[in-house]
Every structure is written in C-alpha cells, then in structure tokens.
Amino acid sequence: MPKSSLPVLVKKLSAAWLAAGALCGAALAAQGVPSADAEAEAAAKAAQAARSAARSEIAGQRALLQHEHKQAQAQCYQRFAVEDCLKQERRLARERDRPLRERELRINDEERRERAAARLKDIEAKRADKAVSVIQAQQRPPAPQRDTAAMRAQRQQEAQQRAAQHADYQRGHEAQTRQRLADEAQRRSAAQEQYEAKQKAAAERRERAAEAAREREQSGTPRSAPLPAP
C-alpha cells in the first residue's frame, strides 16, 4: 500500500469510530430515564462507548506511526551513519507516540475512577440497605413471651413422666430376673429329684439281685448272671 494512502485510510477509520461512539451516546441519551439510577447507568454506558471509540482511534494512529517508523528505518539502512539514523528515528517515534500514550493513560485513569465510584456506590447502597434492615428489626414488635411458670410446670411434669417410665422399666426388669431365677431353681430341683430317683431305683435293683443270689445259694440253685448296671 502506498505511504500516501495510509493517512487517508486511518483518518477515515478514526472518523467512523468517533461517529459510532457519538451515535451510541446519542442513542443512550435519547432513551427515557425513569430514575436517577437509570440515568447514571445510561451516562456510564455512553462514556464507555466514547472511550472505546477513542481507543480505536488511538490504535489506528499508532498503526500509522509504526508503519512510518518502519519506512524511516528502511531508509536509514541506505545511509552511511546507520546507527545514528536509527537512534534518531527511535527517538522521533517515541516523541510521536507520546501524545497517544498520554491520551490513553487519561482514558484508563478516567475508567478506573468511574469503576471506583461505582464500587463505592454499591458499598454505600449495601450499607443503606443494612441500616434499613436494622431499623425495621428494631421497629418489629417483640415476640410474645411464654409464661415462665407454665414452662416450669411443663418441664416438671415431663420429668415426672420420665421418672415413672424408668421406674416401670426397672420393676419389669426385676420381675423378669426373679422369674428367670425361679425357673432355673425349679429345673435344678426337678433334675436333682430325677437323679435321686434313678439312684434309688438302681440301689433297689441291686438289693433284690443280692437277695435272690442268697436265696439261690441257700437252695442250691445255680447262680445266674448279675443284672446290668443302670
């Protein structure tokens, strides 16, 4: 692209960006604002649109300066004192870019101030809401207090019920224990009686066998085999 056509193109782009920013601001301003908050929001959007347009213009002008700087550097290589020429061209490039950089810093600083103001506004709004909540809580009628004597009587009644339930459980547990011990004693007594009856019956059988043996000896009858042990 020829060098002479770049400035014209950049100027046209810059004019288009500025016009777009102005149209955005005008459109926001033309809208009806139902409250101060809506008006402030519309103003903030318009300012942001203007900053975006300004940043686009700065970018276009900086692109033009960089293009011219590269062309100047190329010409320096055609001269005898190349390094001196390059140093001077870099210094000139910094000087040309300085107004754009200062304008860019002003835009950034303005944006930071607006954001800080918006944050401060949000903090103040939250504090105001909290203060209103505190006032409303203070103005709210207190909850009715329950009768302390009735609460004590209810707690005492509940404690008595728990004590009665525990006593019933304890009596039932003791009755079950006594019944179990009585059943065990009865089983042991029955087992002892059965054992003694078996021992008595065995002794009686042995006694009869011995008596029969004596009678056979006296009568001369052969001795029979003894009865098996029970």
Please report how many Cα atoms fall inside a 13 Å half-sphere around the Cα of residue 148, on the Cβ side.
Answer: 0
Q: Which two tokens stand for residue 56?
A: 């686009």
Residues 6+ apart with CB under 8 A from 193: none
Question: 167 near 159, Cβ under 8 Å?
Answer: no
pLDDT of residue 152: 86
Question: 55 near 103, Cβ under 8 Å?
Answer: no
CA nearest 28: which of 44, 40, 46, 16? Answer: 46
Question: 64 near 25, Cβ under 8 Å?
Answer: no
- Angle (deg, nearest 10), helices 36-76 and 82-139: 170
Rounded Cα gap, residues 153 and 151, in angstroms:
5
Which one-letter DSSP state was computed for residue 4?
Answer: T
pLDDT per residue as tens digits for the range 131-160? 888 888 888 776 665 568 888 888 889 999
Q: Give CA separation, 67 vs 12, 87, 194, 219, in Å.
A: 17, 17, 126, 158
pLDDT at 1 over 50: no
Q: Give CA separation, 195 vs 181, 227, 228, in Å.
A: 21, 20, 18
pTM score of the predicted model: 0.41
Rounded Cα gap, residues 161 and 213, in angstroms:
78
pLDDT per residue as tens digits for the range 64-104? 999 999 998 899 898 888 899 999 999 999 999 999 999 99
Confidence band of 33 (pLDDT split at 50, 70, 90): very low
Q: What are phi and psi of 146, to 5 degrees?
A: -75, 155
pLDDT at 123 over 90: yes
Q: Which two tokens stand for residue 224?
A: 């029979």
pLDDT at 122 over 70: yes
Q: Which two tokens stand for residue 80?
A: 């005898």
- Angle (deg, nearest 10), helices 5-30 and 36-76: 180
Least confident of 34-43, 55-64, 199-208: 34-43
Mean pLDDT across the stretch 8-25? 51
